[in-house]
Structure formats: C-alpha cells, structure tokens
Amino acid sequence: MIDNAGIWTNNPILISHLNKNFFEERNGIFINFNNEFTYKLFNPENKLNGAFLRIKFNESGTYLKIVGSFRKWYYGEKSLRDFSLNDFIKAIEILSSTLEIPFNLFGLFSISMAEIGLNVRVFEKCSNIINMIVGYKSNCYEPATFRGYKRFKTATFEIKLYDKLNEIIGKKNQSKFIKSAEESKFINENLNKNCLRVELKITKGKNVTKRIGYNSVGELIDNFNDLYLYYWINVQELQFSEIFTSIPIFDPENKSDKEFMDFIKLVGINTLGIEEINRMTSKLKYRGMRAKIKKISENPLVEISTYNKKRFCMNVMGQIVLGLIKSDQTNFAKALVPQLRQSSTYNTI
C-alpha cells in the first residue's frame, strides 16, 4: 500500500551519529547527491536495484529526513508488487539497520507525506478507464489531465490514475531499449496486460494524522491493514461519466482513413445515444439516414466496451483481497470483505 513517503525526526537520540563522516565511511551504499548534506541510499540487499531513498540531514545532527519510493527501493524499479505488511516491516528493518538506529526507535519517525496505492489489474485498457473518470468527490478537487494519467487534487491531498505498465515499459518494448534479460522477461510477461495504478497522496504531517489517524512509522506498522479500507472508501469517490459507459474501441494500426472516419462517426453516435439519434433523424427529409447510421454502428472493426464504475470497483476489491492473501493475511481479508461490501457504493458487489 505505501509507496512514496517522507519521514523525518528531530530527536538527537536517534540521529546524533548520522553526520557527514558516517555517510562518507559507507561509500557505495550512500552516495552524495548534490550537496554535502544530502545522500542517496541504495538498498544494500538489492544492489542491482537502481532505486534509492534520499537522506537529508543538518550539520548539527538535530534533523534528518528520508524521502522516496520505499516500494521501489525494496522490490526494484520494475516491480509491480505492492507492499504487504510483512515486506514493509522488512524494508524498515533494512533501513533502520543501515542507519544504525534500533528498529523499535525507528518507529518514532514522523510521516510528513504518504502515498497509498495499488497496481490494479483491470479488464479494460487503462486509457479507456482514465477517459471515463471525470471527477473526484466534489468540485473542490482541481482536475488535471496529462498524457497518460489523470489527477484530482487539493493543497494537501490528491488522487492519481495512470497506466503503470506504460510508465515502466514505455518505449522499452522496442529491442534497442532493452538492456538485460530481466527487462526482456518483464516486458514479455506484461506487454499485453492492463495495470492501472491508483494512488492517494497525503501531504503535510498534520493532514496525514487527520486523514489516516496517525503519523508515525510505528503507528503505520501497527495499523497497516486499516489502509486498505481507507483506500477503498476514497477510490469509490471517483466519478465516472455516463457517456463513456459504452465505449467504441478501435485499433488504428494499418487501417484506412475511411475506416478511421467511420470510427469517429460511431463515437458521435455513441455519445448522442440512440433516442436522440432517432429524434433528430425523424426531422430530416432524407429517409435513408437511419440505414446509414445502422451500417456505421455495425462496424466489425470496432469493439464496444461496457466497462463502468461497478466493474472498476470490483477490480479494486479483488486487488485488495489478493494483496492481503499474498501477505498471509487471509483471516484479515475474510474479515475485511464484509466491511468493503458494507461501505460500497454498489451493494451488489
């Protein structure tokens, strides 16, 4: 569940030994970033992983902050795995050991920013789902649409959706960009799959406490599984457009200009709806228009998607349950499912 995060402390008992000499003596694990008080921390148990956490500290040893994707730091940059409770604890154990801070005291670190997300396997193209989503909760969440993802945010909270496989693979599915057998295997296994990343991001420490009820690493570990319910409740606030509940899907590769224009016409027909089409054509002098529209509507090159919010919520619920089972939390999953159903916008899920 946890991905990017910012944690910090100003407790000298925890960090007084973390000075410039400490980091320089451990060169290879810590690498100076861009100034003498910022270092990259690579995972010492996964040295081939290029992901790092950023360590910032002050000269007096009274402040230290750690920022970055804990998920990528632990699993690797190209992993689709999401943190289970057990693996999150292991990641914190590696981090606390590397920084020579006792694990039980590391739990005193405060959380200044938390990103809670899942890679959701969906049965629809991610781009289609992103187009269906038009809002979140209320109009106070400012929308932002960029190529490949959609985001709704306020000053202290945001929810973002994007195609995770496209982010990882991108142009690397072209042979000239593949650098290792591991990359090639990952691409071959996932190239035709649909994986939608859905993230909630909470910023500012007090707001973290307000939204999830706590803001220390120790409390996060103790209440880790509760994040699934928090995530579920917020994901359901996404608003889907009814216009896109039945979407024409067209693959333009090797198609003619006419075939593409017929698809554009079909999108227009689909947007207006059959009742409005019938109302408008009844006023036309030319009586053959309905036959033309019917022919376009029966285009064999176009598939019609019936994906909607209910199916999206079912995919998310399935991913939550699967994540819990994979982390040996089967009993918790069984107890959580009734709560998910009870809090669901769709009581039939």
Q: What's the mean pLDDT when you consider all of the chain?
A: 81
pLDDT in tens, 61-120: 789 999 999 999 999 888 888 998 889 999 999 999 999 999 999 999 999 999 999 999
Residue 121 has pLDDT above 70, yes or no: yes
pLDDT in tens, 253-268: 778 888 788 777 777 7
**Contact between 265 and 296 (Cβ < 8 Å):** yes
Residue 201 has pLDDT above 90, yes or no: yes
Residue whose C-alpha is closest to residue 5's, from 203, 159, 157:
203
Query: Where is 189: in which H helix or E strand?
Result: helix 181-190
- The predicted pLDDT at position 70 comes to 95
Residue 134 has pLDDT above 70, yes or no: yes
**Contact between 130 and 162 (Cβ < 8 Å):** yes
Average pLDDT over residues 5-9: 93
